[in-house]
Each structure stands twice: as C-alpha cells, then as structure tokens.
Amino acid sequence: MGIAVARPESALFSPKPVVSPNGYFNRKKLLKKLESFGNGPGRINGLLDSMRASSPTRRGTDSREDQNSWTVSMFDEIMEASMGKQIVVFLDYDGTLSPIVEDPDRAFMTNEMREAVRNVAKFFPTAIVSGRCRAKVFNFVRLSELYYAGSHGMDIKGPVKGHRKGNQTVLCQPAREFLPMIDEVYKSLIEKIEYIPGAKVENNKFCLSVHYHQVKSVIKDYQQLRLNQGRKVLEIRPTIKWDKGNALEFLLESLESEDVLPIYIGDDRTDEDAFRVMQFLKRLVEWKKKKLSLLRH
Ligand SMILES: O=P(O)(O)OC[C@H]1O[C@H](O[C@H]2O[C@H](CO)[C@@H](O)[C@H](O)[C@H]2O)[C@H](O)[C@@H](O)[C@@H]1O
C-alpha cells in the first residue's frame, strides 16, 4: 500500500509539555488546528462511525474479508478528507494491535503488524494509547519512533531523542500524586489475590488491572480510586478527570502543524473516551463554521 502525504521537515511536536494553568491543553488553540476538519459537515463523523462499526467485535466475528473490503473502501475517503492536513494516528494496543489472549503477559503483536505500524509512523505522527503502563506497551511494540500514552493516557512520552532529527520528548503525567496510593493498593491486592486461582494483578503504574474479581473489598476504603470494568479485567485508577480522550487532546495540542486530521483506532470501552473527544471537537468545528457563515451573511 502506498501513501503519499507530505510530512513537514520541522519537529512535529512542540519542544516542551503544553501545560496550561487550568489543565494540560488549550481547547481554543486545538479548535483552530481542527477548523477544516473534514471536507463537509458529516464527513469525519461518517468516517468515525464506519471505523467503529468495522473494528473487531468482542467475539471476533468479523472476517478478514470484511475487514479488507472496509479498508479498501475507506482508503479513498480518508485520503480525500486528509487533503492539506497533517494526519495523526492513534492506536489502542490490546485487541487492536494484538489479539486478546488469556495471559496478559503474552499478548504479543505479530511482526507483520509491527511492520504495518512502522510504515504508518514513517508518514504520520503515530501514538499508541493503552491502558497498560508505558514501559510494558513499549516492550510489546518496540518501535522507538512512536509516541506512547500508557496508563490510559496518564503517562505520555514522545520518541527517544535523536530518533528523528529535531524531535523532542513530550511528557505528561497528570496523576503523579497517586503513585504511592496505587502502590499501596497493588501490594494489598497481591496479598489477597495470592489465594485466588487464575486471578492476576497487573501494575500499570498509574492504574492497576485485576484479571478477575475479588477486588471490590480491597478498594472500598479508597474514595479517590474508582473501579472500571474492561474485558475480563477490573481496572483501578485515580478519580481525576483524565482518560484516553485527554491524552488525545494533549497530543493534538502539542502538534506544531496547524491543520490536522486525527485518526483513532481502538476496540475497547476506554477508547470510547477518545471517540467522544473527536465527536465533540467535530461539533465545535461545525458550530464555529456555522457562526462564521451567519456573521458573513
Ligand atoms: O487500552 P488497551 O491497550 O486495550 O489495554 C486495556 C487492558 O488490556 C489488557 O487486558 C486485555 O488484554 C489481555 C491480553 O489479551 C486479556 O488477557 C484481558 O482479558 C483483556 O482485558 C491489559 O492486560 C490490561 O492491563 C489493560 O487495562
């Protein structure tokens, strides 16, 4: 597959973290970048809906043939919508780049998939957005040219220095203060879980995944932590308002390019936080366009 999109020579992400006093990004600035999001009002919305509809189902019923025909039919649409824009690609890991398997430590991606991601990253800034801790997802993917947003976006880092000329590291860890608490709960869970056959607790740095049940009793005394249910997994994370959607906004805000077309591919409930942000931004762009056209007439 050949993709011809011009990539600017300058660094794609700004040199230092974008931190505004009241948060980690400036929505107004982001809106400006996305002003010409799509070639018509329903364009990106339709694209996103189709992407979601064709992502692998929980039971994995989509055939390879279905997926291939979707890829071919969407290719032209994506190319058309991206005219003059900087495409930015966001990819979830488990269930998107790797198959869902029983043992979370063995969720390897194929070399074929790694090659595909490597090729995408040659043309577009590419970020992996995962519930896993950044180091672990990096060990699976092993592509240093990518951006990684681990712990559901609570730990963001750019490509290693020197990989691409002029590229800088972006760092964002909005839940740092929760580390001791997460660690405490992790230790407590390890003790409890020892006696439960098949249960496993995974330390994802800023959040924890309990591969199965018996967790509610342990965290009931921690009001600042919440429970989230994933695929046969319970996730514990800080109550702060920060999810994969915020990670997406943070990375888009860090882009130096003015006109961007974000593409996000994911399969899980937590990816819907990012889908919601994309829908919201699109509505904002439409609203602003409508307002401008009313002012002109
Ligand atoms: O955001 P993601 O990259 O999709 O991470 C979400 C969770 O993924 C992993 O668990 C899931 O995949 C495992 C391996 O296939 C599977 O055994 C488990 O049942 C799934 O829930 C990861 O282990 C979790 O820590 C992540 O929260």
Sheet of 260-265: strand order equals 171-172, 155-157, 147-150, 126-129, 86-91, 260-265
Residues 6 or more apart whose CB falls under 8 angstroms from that of 235 comprise: 131, 152, 207, 208, 209, 210, 227, 228, 229, 270
pLDDT in tens, the chain (297 residues): 222 222 233 333 433 333 333 344 555 666 666 554 444 334 444 444 444 444 444 444 556 566 566 666 667 777 777 788 888 999 999 999 999 988 899 999 999 999 999 999 998 999 999 999 999 999 999 999 999 999 999 999 998 665 554 455 778 999 999 999 999 999 999 998 888 777 889 999 999 999 875 566 677 788 888 878 777 788 999 999 999 999 999 998 887 777 888 889 998 889 999 998 888 777 777 777 777 777 776
CA of 83 to the centre of ligand 1 (A): 35
Cβ burial, residue 182 (10 Å; 0-12/13-18/19+): buried
Task: Tell me, rounded to whole angstroms, the distance of Cα 7 from its chain centroid.
Answer: 21
Element (H, E) at 292: helix 271-296
CB of 253 closer than 6 A to ligand 1? no
Residue with tokens 């990106």: 44
Are the C-beta atoms of residues 124 and 13 closer than 8 Å to each other?
no
Best residue for ligand 1 mutational test, from 233, 265, 271 (most atoms within 8 Å of Cβ): 233
> Phi first, then psi: what are they for 194, rounded to 5°?
-45, -35
Q: Specify whether 243 is catalytic.
A: no
Distance (Å, whole) CA 229 – CA 7? 39
Q: How many CA atoms lie within 13 A of 17 on its CB side?
A: 13
CB of 262 closer than 6 A to ligand 1? no
Select which of 49, 62, 92, 273 is catalytic: 92
CA of 94 to the centre of ligand 1 (A): 5
Global pTM reads 0.74
Element (H, E) at 171: strand 171-172
The terminus-to-terminus CA distance of the chain in angstroms comes to 45
Angle at 172 between CA 142 and CA 89, to 5 degrees: 50
CA of 176 to the centre of ligand 1 (A): 22
Tokens for 289?
């366009």
Q: What pLDDT sits at residue 69?
A: 62
Are the C-beta atoms of residues 125 and 86 closer than 8 Å to each other?
yes
Q: What pLDDT sits at residue 78?
A: 76
Residues 6 or more apart whose CB falls under 8 angstroms from that of 137 comprise: 93, 128, 130, 148, 150
Q: Which atom of ligand 1 is nearest to the CA of 99?
A: 15
Of 134, 37, 49, give the one whose Cα is nearest residue 93.
134
CB of 233 closer than 6 A to ligand 1? yes
CA of 77 to the centre of ligand 1 (A): 31
Element (H, E) at 254: helix 244-254
Best residue for ligand 1 mutational test, from 94, 140, 231, 248 (most atoms within 8 Å of Cβ): 94
Q: What ipTM describes this predicted complex? A: 0.97
Distance (Å, whole) CA 137 – CA 124? 20
Distance (Å, whole) CA 276 – CA 133? 23
Q: What pLDDT sits at residue 9?
A: 30
Longest Cα pair distance anywhere in the chain, in angstroms?
A: 71
Are the C-beta atoms of residues 128 and 93 closer than 8 Å to each other?
yes
Distance (Å, whole) CA 134 – CA 80? 33
DSSP letters for 208-236? EEEESS--HHHHTT-TTEEEEE-SS-EEE
What residue type is assigned to position 145 of the chain? E
Are the C-beta atoms of residues 281 and 34 closer than 8 Å to each other?
yes
Best residue for ligand 1 mutational test, from 206, 228, 231 (most atoms within 8 Å of Cβ): 231
Q: What pLDDT sits at residue 229?
A: 73
Q: What pLDDT sits at residue 13?
A: 42
CB of 104 closer than 6 A to ligand 1? yes
CB of 230 closer than 6 A to ligand 1? yes
